[in-house]
Chains A and B, each alone.
Chain A
Amino acid sequence: MLTLKLPHPGTLVALGILSLVAGGFIALARFDGGTPALLSIGPYLGQVLAFSITQALLSTALSLVLGIGLALALARRRFPGRDIVLAILGTTMVLPTIVAVFAVFAVYGRSGWLADFLAFLGWSEGFSIFGYPGILIAHVFLNGPFVARITLDGLNQVPAEHWRLASAFGFTPFQIFRHLDWPVLRAELPGIAGLIFLMCFKSFAIVLALGGGPSRSTLEVAIFEALKIDLDFGRVAWLALIQLAICLSMTGLLHWAFTRPPVGHTIRNLVYRPDAKNGNLKLFDTFVLAVSALFIAPLAFSVLTGLRSMLAVIDTDLLRAFLTSLTIATAAAILACALAFALASAARRQRLVLRSPRIATFYDLLPDALLAVPPFALTAGLFLLIQRVGDPSNAGLILLPLINGLAAVPFAYRYVAPHLLTTEERYGRVAASLGLTGWSKLTIMDWPVLKRPLAAGFVLAMALSFGDFGIIALFGGTELVTLPYLLYERLGAYRLDEASSIGLIIVLFAVLLAHASGRLSHAGD
């Protein structure tokens, strides 16, 4: 007998996501009835691709150099304020890109701190940060500390026994590097490098604001310009397909290459490093710490100048933008968590109940694959779809939370999926023998374990969406203004004082949320 069973919610979600993306692309490609010739945009495309890749490679290399040097120096040195340095490094990881753009303007811009300082010294040559300098500074500022944090965490995983062996054998600093530090770096770096390359390759806000010309565009910016300036949907479709292909293969490669070795149990991370006493290393580490401080500190603290004009900048426009951002962020976070939960429980069911790990892997990969879809192309495609069925004037209000929510799914998924899996492994059989299914299984077995990671994922998704300057660049205007958009406007008008205050509000809120997320995910471990 044939019985019709309702598919698992996760299956529906996966199908929904796939059809949204496919529908968007089909709508793009069929617009104007024309299939645009790839050849006609060939030279332009080549230029954009070359720039995207070159700046991403340079950004990655510089971020790695800064990050690794900093991680090793911090691992070897103990000094007052080290904890504060670590906290600042953690903060730049959640710093919205548009705020990084502001920081670069404030420090290196034409009327920035550096220019002031040089003028004070009597050197008034103008220099431009547009193009490579600005983009690289912003990318390294955001990613270098990220490399340092991840690497430092990795270095702390070296078992205390190995450090004791190193001092028992009398390892030289070089032997310590070779046998203790290098294996960690070799295991961690390919994954981190790939991830940073991907982020810089897709970079939007930074390249848009600091690129300084159409010849210096990433694919993402090129898609945006094709939409906003030329309304050339055919070109959007081609650029988006290429972006999708490159990012998907990078994501696949990362997934395949970046299998972290199982983390050994750390005994304590304040082990004594015998190489801390070496004079040359002391000198080297001091140099690295000084250079990093000179680079990171001004950028990080430039936002604090926003305190000065904070009161002057608060008006109804700002409050409205704040509320709009908050609403969009909340809606996006709800969406991200709901989708992540549905996908993760479908993955868990496939892996543990139905015993088909391949389908489970599909669910695991889908959130990451979502990151490869260019948001502007998806937005444009969905906009065209909405246009067919109804009034597109409020499309932004639907599309902003939707796109931001989709972008946050991978992060929420990472919080939710492991906990769902371990709960089933531990209590699945008991639940089955008690006859717990569906809603009762969710409330009795899953919810108590899941509520904290879910809350952590929710708050992180909010933080990401709150500071995002992405497709709001398309929809922003008199009708719809978010805080990051307001910041972008003020930057464009060179009103740095106001920009700094808005930047500070965004950063405070994003950091507060990210901090709450960290607390939520670590509490109760």
Chain B
Amino acid sequence: MLVIENCRLTWPDFTADYSLTVETGNLCAVIGPSGGGKTTLLHMIAGFERPESGTLTFNGQDLLPLEPAKRPAAIVFQDHNLFPHLSAAQNVALGLRPSLRLTRDEQSLVAEALDSVGLKGFDERRPGEMSGGQRQRVALARALISGRPLILLDEPFSSLDPALRRDMILLVDEMRRKRSVTILMTIHTPEDAADVADQMAFVADGRVVASGRPMDILGSALAPRIAAAVSDS
């Protein structure tokens, strides 16, 4: 279980104070207006931002003292996930060994990971030779191969067209059922994930305003605010 309690971060022009609980193995969709603090929430869990107070634990382990590399979390950004000078296979391999010195077995793990996101045979492709959707699939494969039980997806598919976006979300759903990982995913259009997510959290003004079953959130009094957030940007 991921437990965030009163994690406070302050900037000159913005204050965040997060409290959120996500059951292990669940997929939690994080929605809300842009600039409301969705990305900061994920960055805090990954260790790029440090809260001044509060607690952050995953399955009972305190994450706050840990460096990003030591945390049980893997992250996928909206953009710039891959190093352009490395092949798809090498980019995936970074999730296993940053030195890129892989054993035979590890090499076949990489190939399997690419296969599992529908990129069989793409091993030698450079990011520049792939479409936006394919690049995000590579990033996803890397997050999965790292073996970290918590996966953070920061608007991973927002730059893809709706049909492709839906495919990718279904792929994420399939992955997490196979590997039983916990996923936090910020998304732009709630409908995309309403049926696959177990939980939905509405984040605005640096706070988790509401969290619960997607149907409950989308059908709640928050509905007009959610609709406004979606059409806003």
> Which chain A residues have a beta carbon within 8 Å of chain B's beta carbons?
159-162, 164-165, 167-172, 175, 179-180, 183, 186, 261, 264, 272
Contacts and interface: CB of A to CB of B under 8 A. Distances in A.
B75 A164 contact: yes
A168 B154 CA distance: 14
Contacts of A167: 47-48, 67-69
B80 A172 contact: no
12 contacts: A162-B80, A162-B83, A164-B43, A164-B68, A165-B81, A168-B47, A169-B98, A170-B69, A171-B98, A172-B98, A175-B99, A180-B83
B83 A183 contact: yes
B140 interface: no
Contacts of B227: none
A160 to B, nearest CB: 8
Contacts of B74: 168
Please classify how large the interface on chain B is, using the bins under 10, 10 to 19, 20 to 34, 35 or more: 20 to 34
Contacts of B68: 164, 167-168, 170
Contact of B69 (A160, A161, A169, A180): A169
A264 B70 contact: no
Interface of B: 43, 46-48, 67-71, 73-75, 77, 79-81, 83-86, 94-95, 98-99
B46 A164 contact: yes
A161 B77 contact: yes
A320 to B, nearest CB: 54
A172 B67 CA distance: 13
A172 B99 CA distance: 9
A253 to B, nearest CB: 23
B154 to A, nearest CB: 9
Contact of A161 (B73, B80, B84, B99): B80
Sorted from nearest, which 10 A-B pairs have the closest CB atoms?
A170-B69, A159-B80, A161-B80, A167-B68, A161-B77, A183-B85, A169-B98, A168-B68, A175-B98, A171-B98
Question: B-side binding surface: helix, strand, loop or mixed?
Answer: loop
Contacts, number: 57
B77 A164 contact: yes
B70 A159 contact: no
A161 B77 CA distance: 7
Contacts of A162: 80, 83
Contacts of B79: 159, 161
Contacts of B43: 164
B46 A168 contact: yes
Contact of B94 (A164, A169, A172, A264): A169
B39 to A, nearest CB: 11
A170 B77 contact: no
Contacts of B75: 164-165, 168
B84 A183 contact: yes
A272 B79 CA distance: 18
Contacts of A159: 79-80
Contacts of A180: 83
A456 B71 CA distance: 50
Contacts of B77: 161, 164
- Among B48, B75, B95, the most chain A Cβ lie within 10 Å of the Cβ of B48
A70 to B, nearest CB: 24
A165 B81 CA distance: 8
Contacts of B83: 162, 179-180, 183
A271 to B, nearest CB: 10
Contacts of B85: 179, 183, 186
Contacts of A164: 43, 46, 48, 68, 75, 77
Given A167-B47, A168-B75, 12 more contacts: A161-B79, A162-B83, A164-B48, A165-B94, A168-B47, A168-B74, A169-B69, A169-B95, A172-B98, A179-B94, A183-B84, A186-B85
Contacts of A186: 85
